[in-house]
């Protein structure tokens, strides 16, 4: 008879060992699951069935459409238009380009739903522009990378769909709405910090734009922003599911990019499809192997054991939530967002629901935690992209990003301990 305690050690220990050996996380999840299944004498066909089951979900069909829509809009000039529109709204203040950067990220995040896409597209334009206008490289990259993390909070976000799947079918519409206030709150906090640093360093204001020119820029950018409106409006009104709204937004993005903006030829669609399929293959293979890993965790009763262990640590709800935040922040520093959502949700969700936390509230708290991990070393993917674009080392930029990290943690604490920041909008519009 296999020892279940040893099986738990084998599953989790082999996974950690593979990570230390820098094995790609999809293979680490899959191989550790297979090793544990062999030890438990579970037929390997059961593991394969779980992997197939993991990607056999109607909700997951929204992800390829979100990815494709984001790729189309990113290639087709939407980034530049959003930057120009943001400059009209807020570019005149001290350190105006930093404020434009944050606001443009807020808009673009609502379209692509990806921090890395935001960093690579917005950052490729604004980081060189900021440096040319006298902004320090560390400040330019720091603003870009931290503001890009709004992209996974402000809807639509494919990470929310992954969480919905891992949590057993939490409403995607409520998750989308729950991310609005925290995402805007994060953006406002970053704007305040950016302004303080800009004043301290003596950065200049942006140039004045005439009213007539501002109206023209706003009209041009509105077509791109409508992509997010279609997705959110469709889900909120109940006319579309998240999958259907993503598909319609994808068609809309295609029409606007190739027949209205017309900045790129239709032949560029080959590259867009290739990039989308490459991203999608990574996401789906990760979900498949994480499903098998999660099934073994449930088979070994790890979620129940973790719940009992955490609840015996302290009876204080606030101390336990604080501990979970610290744990997730540390995990976010060493692992990427999607696998952490898939692995930690089945383990931690039962804990927080016993504390009375709503699954939507926990989902936003979890995603915000892991969003911070995207811009922290050693494996922050948004940080790597930002440093590559800004031509600066991670070592040089980390210290200057501390004020930005601080405001992100402050927003995280507010989101954790004030449920209405997350729940007010979904409770108001989706009873």
Give the residue extent of every domain in the chain. 43-429
Average pLDDT of span 74-92: 76
- Residue 98 has φ and ψ, to the nearest 5°, of -70, -40
**pLDDT at 419 (0 to 100):** 94
What region, left, alpha or beta, does residue 168 occupy, with left being phi > 0 and alpha being psi -120 to 50 degrees? Answer: left
Instruction: Report the largest interatomic distance among the alpha carbons of the chain, rounded to a whole angstrom.
Output: 78
**pLDDT at 166 (0 to 100):** 86
Q: With cut-offs at 50, 70 and 90, classify the pLDDT of residue 409.
A: very high
What region, left, alpha or beta, does residue 221 occupy, with left being phi > 0 and alpha being psi -120 to 50 degrees? Answer: alpha
* Whether residue 75 has pLDDT greater than 80: no
Neighbouring C-beta atoms of residue 387, cutoff 10 Å: 24
**pLDDT at 363 (0 to 100):** 94
Q: Report which secondary-structure segment, H or E, holds 302.
A: helix 302-313
Between 363 and 333, the more confident residue is 363
* Whether residue 366 has pLDDT greater than 80: yes
**pLDDT at 361 (0 to 100):** 96
Q: With cut-offs at 50, 70 and 90, classify the pLDDT of residue 59.
A: low
Whether this model's pTM surpasses 0.75: yes
Between 33 and 298, the more confident residue is 33
The per-residue pLDDT for range 230-253, each reduced to its tens digit, is 777 777 676 777 778 778 888 888
Average pLDDT of span 385-401: 79
Contact between residue 351 and residue 324 where contact means Cβ atoms under 8 Å apart: yes
Between 303 and 358, the more confident residue is 358
Which of 113-117, 121-125, 403-407 has the weakest average pLDDT? 113-117
* Whether residue 114 has pLDDT greater than 70: no
Q: Which residue has tokens 């996380």?
A: 25
What rounded mean pLDDT belongs to the chain? 83
Q: How many CA atoms lie within 13 A of 271 on its CB side?
A: 9
Q: With cut-offs at 50, 70 and 90, classify the pLDDT of residue 100.
A: confident
**pLDDT at 111 (0 to 100):** 58
* CA dist 257 → 68, 73, 223 (Å): 12, 7, 10
pLDDT above 70 coverage of the chain, percent: 94
The count of residues in the chain is 431
Residue 205 pairs with which residues in a beta bridge?
94
**pLDDT at 169 (0 to 100):** 81
Rounded Cα gap, residues 105 and 99, in angstroms? 10
**pLDDT at 247 (0 to 100):** 84
**pLDDT at 410 (0 to 100):** 95
Rounded Cα gap, residues 96 and 76, in angstroms? 25
* Whether residue 378 has pLDDT greater than 70: no
Residue burial 341-367, b: 16+ Cβ < 10 Å; e: rest: bbbbbbbbbbbbeeeebbbbbbbbbbb
H-helix segments, 381-419? 381-390, 394-398, 402-417
The per-residue pLDDT for range 30-51, each reduced to its tens digit, is 999 999 999 999 998 999 998 8
The per-residue pLDDT for range 147-195, each reduced to its tens digit, is 888 878 887 777 888 898 888 888 888 898 899 899 889 989 999 999 8
- Residue 314 has φ and ψ, to the nearest 5°, of -160, 150
* Whether residue 110 has pLDDT greater than 70: no
Between 108 and 157, the more confident residue is 157
Residue burial 57-86, b: 16+ Cβ < 10 Å; e: rest: beebbbbbbbbbbbbbbbbbbbbbbbbbbb
């Amino acid at each position: 008879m296999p020892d279940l305690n040893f099986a738990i050690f084998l599953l989790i220990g082999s996974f950690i060992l593979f990570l230390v050996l820098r094995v790609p996380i999809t293979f680490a999840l899959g191989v550790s699951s297979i090793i544990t299944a062999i030890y438990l004498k579970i037929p390997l066909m059961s593991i394969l069935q779980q992997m197939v089951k993991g990607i056999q979900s109607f909700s997951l069909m929204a992800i390829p459409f979100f990815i494709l829509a984001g790729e189309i809009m990113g290639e087709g000039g939407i980034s530049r238009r959003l930057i120009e529109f943001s400059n009209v709204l807020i570019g005149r203040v001290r350190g105006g380009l930093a404020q434009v950067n944050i606001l443009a990220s807020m808009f673009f995040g609502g379209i692509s739903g990806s921090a890395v896409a935001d960093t690579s597209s917005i950052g490729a334009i604004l980081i060189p522009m900021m440096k040319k206008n006298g902004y320090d490289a560390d400040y330019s990259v720091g603003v870009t990378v931290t503001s890009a993390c709004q992209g996974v909070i402000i809807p639509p976000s494919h990470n929310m769909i992954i969480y919905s799947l891992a949590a057993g079918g939490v409403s995607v519409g409520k998750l989308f709405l729950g991310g609005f206030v925290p995402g805007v709150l994060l953006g406002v906090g970053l704007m305040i910090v950016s302004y303080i640093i800009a004043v301290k360093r003596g950065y200049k204001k942006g140039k004045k734009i005439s009213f007539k020119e501002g109206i023209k820029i706003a009209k041009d950018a509105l077509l791109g922003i409508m992509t997010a409106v279609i997705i959110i409006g469709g889900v909120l009104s109940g006319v579309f599911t998240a999958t259907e709204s993503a598909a319609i937004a994808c068609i809309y993005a295609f029409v606007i990019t190739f027949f209205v903006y017309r900045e790129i030829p239709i032949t560029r669609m080959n590259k867009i499809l290739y990039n989308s399929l490459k991203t999608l293959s990574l996401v789906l293979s990760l979900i498949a192997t994480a499903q098998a890993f999660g099934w073994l965790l449930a088979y070994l009763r790890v979620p129940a054991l973790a719940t009992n262990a955490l609840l015996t640590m302290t009876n204080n709800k606030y101390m336990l939530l604080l501990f979970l935040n610290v744990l997730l922040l540390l995990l976010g520093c060493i692992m990427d967002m999607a696998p952490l959502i898939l692995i930690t949700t089945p383990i931690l969700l039962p804990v927080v629901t016993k504390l009375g936390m709503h699954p939507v509230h926990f989902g936003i708290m979890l995603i915000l935690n892991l969003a911070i991990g995207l811009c922290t070393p050693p494996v922050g993917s948004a940080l790597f992209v930002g440093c590559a674009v800004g031509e600066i080392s991670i070592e040089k930029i980390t210290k200057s990003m501390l004020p930005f990290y601080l405001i992100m943690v402050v927003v995280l604490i507010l989101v954790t301990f004030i449920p209405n920041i997350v729940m007010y909008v979904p409770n108001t519009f989706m009873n």
